[in-house]
Structure 1
Amino acid sequence: MIGRWIFIRGQAMGRRGWLALAALFIVALIVLMPLRMILGLTMPETITARSVEGSVWGGRIGDLNAGPLPLGTVDAGLEPLPLLIGRPQFAIARDGFSATIAPSRIIHANGSVQIPDGLGGLPVTSVGLGDFSAAMADGQCTEAQGTLSLTLAALGPLLPDAITVSGQARCEKGALVVPMRGPQGMERLTLKIGGDGRWQADLTLAGLPQETVEALKSSGFDTRPGGIGIGTSGTF
């Protein structure tokens, strides 16, 4: 009897009913779409993760890496409004960090990220972000704003304290550039990131005692106008 009733209802269902059923089916597919699938289709190869779980609207990404930045395990979800203009972007968050990521773009990043392997030849231990946003298009920096800071471990027994430098991000000649200074203005570091993934970092220290200067020269620093410095570079 139940089977006969379903059959009769199916025969009686009009065009509007079938459209409503199809719409519900599409909505169900979207709601239940795996986060892993959308990330794989929209994010560049520089975005990697150990695991991706959950739906596109509310999932979890294990050991997320954005280029050289290990962001850790984050909660993630697709933001619906940017889809109206064809831009998929994801809100991600964990304790001490939040941001929105999209293809070739990071938006309103706040918090800190630990860097266990340093930054090239510099002993960078962490990166701090204050309302930091940056975008790349066709290999060029098109937008950059907010604050970026780097904390460096002690450079030797004569400089036992960590050094923190910070500055405002900007686009310059197609590259993302962040000129940073320490609290006293004696430490300066310039970070440049190109749209091709190549980066350069140059650290200059001024006002150091001669014995400290000589010790740092023996570890790779060279003489600069007004102080000593060291440069390093790499590719994301």
Structure 2
Amino acid sequence: MARRLGVLAGLVLVWLIVLLPLKAVMMLAGGAGAFGYPDVYGSVWDGRIYGLRMAGMPVREIEMSADPLPLFVGRLAARWRVSDDSARGSGHVVLGRETIEIRDMSLLVSIDRLDLQTLPGLDRSQMIDIDVDSLSMRAGQCEAAQGRVRTAALERFAASYGFEGPSMLGILSCENGALVLSLDGAAADLEVTGTVRMTGQDYAWDMELRTGRPELAEVLALAGMTRNGDIWIYQGSERLAIE
């Protein structure tokens, strides 16, 4: 009898978790004051967040579909989908007390949305294609990462000056607790190599551009790069925009 009552109580608890309003979960996480959203609808099983602010800009809609069972061991597992003109994609996330796991993520996002430093004249509406097979972080430290980042932004940038620019490819990995993006791209008139290191608080970049195009000298200097012949060095760091 006691065993049956225990099973029944467990089923009732699962059902209550399934019906838990997503708004209640968001309030526990900090509410509108922390995330800046105007509206939340549905349950953790099938909910939507409207206007969540990322890098200071609102996202039109984020769909969340949670798996209730991991909640029993203190973890939240959910599928998500982002719908916005400057950010769209989907993936799977698992949140624990000190861990974050991302799997099967595909995201197309504008340079402007990521609040990245860019070259003067670079079209910030250009998109970055991010594919993450897996990413594991613990206590803010990157443990394992596998994924790729692609963008044609420099091709468009170079074309505006009438020459050929590279299509960029980046590979994700972990190094000393930081998420590292190793970038590489080469074309007839411009070659780029470098790395971007990201932690939970900031990101830093160390880039090297090689070009013999004299018309780029003023633009690269205005971007804060230093010159050594045909090689331009671009280094710096920025705090991440959490809002």
TM-score, length-scaled by structure 1:
0.72
- State whether structure 2 residue 237 is matched by structure 1 residue 229: no
- State whether structure 2 residue 221 is matched by structure 1 residue 217: yes
Q: Could you tell me how far 1:174 is from its partner in structure 2? A: 1.4
CA distance in 1, matches of 2:73, 2:22: 20
Matching residue of 2:130: 129
User: What aligned pairs does 1:106-117 form with structure 2 within 5 A after superposition?
Assistant: 106-116=102-112
CA distance in 1, matches of 2:222, 2:239: 26
- State whether structure 2 residue 179 is matched by structure 1 residue 191: no
Which moves more between the two structures, 155-164 or 168-177?
155-164
Q: Could you tell me how far 1:182 is from its partner in structure 2? A: 2.0
SS of alignment partner, residue 212 of structure 1: helix
Q: Could you tell me how far 1:97 is from its partner in structure 2? A: 0.8
Q: Could you tell me how far 1:155 is from its partner in structure 2? A: 7.2
Matching residue of 1:173: 176
Q: Could you tell me how far 1:136 is from its partner in structure 2? A: 2.1
Q: Could you tell me how far 1:198 is from its partner in structure 2? A: 1.3
Q: Could you tell me how far 1:158 is from its partner in structure 2? A: 3.1
- State whether structure 2 residue 48 is matched by structure 1 residue 76: no
CA distance in 2, matches of 1:48, 1:225: 46
User: Which residue type is aligned with residue 214 of structure 2?
Assistant: Q
User: Which residue type is aligned with residue 35 of structure 1?
Assistant: L
Kept in 1: contact 2:166–2:186 (CA 8 A) = no
User: Which residue type is aligned with residue 89 of structure 2?
Assistant: F
CA distance in 1, matches of 2:41, 2:182: 38
CA distance in 2, matches of 1:211, 1:174: 40
Pair member with larger Rg: 1
CA RMSD between the two structures: 3.8
TM-score, length-scaled by structure 2:
0.70
Kept in 2: contact 1:71–1:113 (CA 8 A) = no
Structure 2 vs 1, CA of residues 117 and 167 (structure 1 numbering), >3 Å: closer, same or farther?
Answer: closer
- State whether structure 2 residue 53 is matched by structure 1 residue 87: no
For structure 1, the residue ranges without an aligned partner over 5 or more in a row are 1-13
Matching residue of 2:211: 207
Kept in 2: contact 1:204–1:227 (CA 8 A) = yes
Q: Could you tell me how far 1:16 is from its partner in structure 2? A: 8.4
Q: Which of 1 and 2 has higher RCO (CA within 8 Å, sep 6+)?
A: 2
Structure 2 vs 1, CA of residues 67 and 210 (structure 1 numbering), >3 Å: closer, same or farther?
Answer: closer
SS of alignment partner, residue 112 of structure 2: coil
Matching residue of 1:54: 42
Kept in 1: contact 2:101–2:135 (CA 8 A) = yes
Matching residue of 1:10: none
CA distance in 2, matches of 1:67, 1:107: 22
Which moves more between the two structures, 226-235 or 116-125?
116-125
SS of alignment partner, residue 117 of structure 2: coil
Structure 2 vs 1, CA of residues 91 and 64 (structure 1 numbering), >3 Å: closer, same or farther?
Answer: farther
SS of alignment partner, residue 97 of structure 1: strand
Kept in 2: contact 1:61–1:73 (CA 8 A) = yes
Structure 2 vs 1, CA of residues 118 and 67 (structure 1 numbering), >3 Å: closer, same or farther?
Answer: closer
SS of alignment partner, residue 116 of structure 1: helix
CA distance in 1, matches of 2:219, 2:181: 28
CA distance in 1, matches of 2:165, 2:49: 31
Kept in 2: contact 1:76–1:93 (CA 8 A) = yes
User: How many pairs are equivalent?
Assistant: 221
Provide the identity percentage.
26
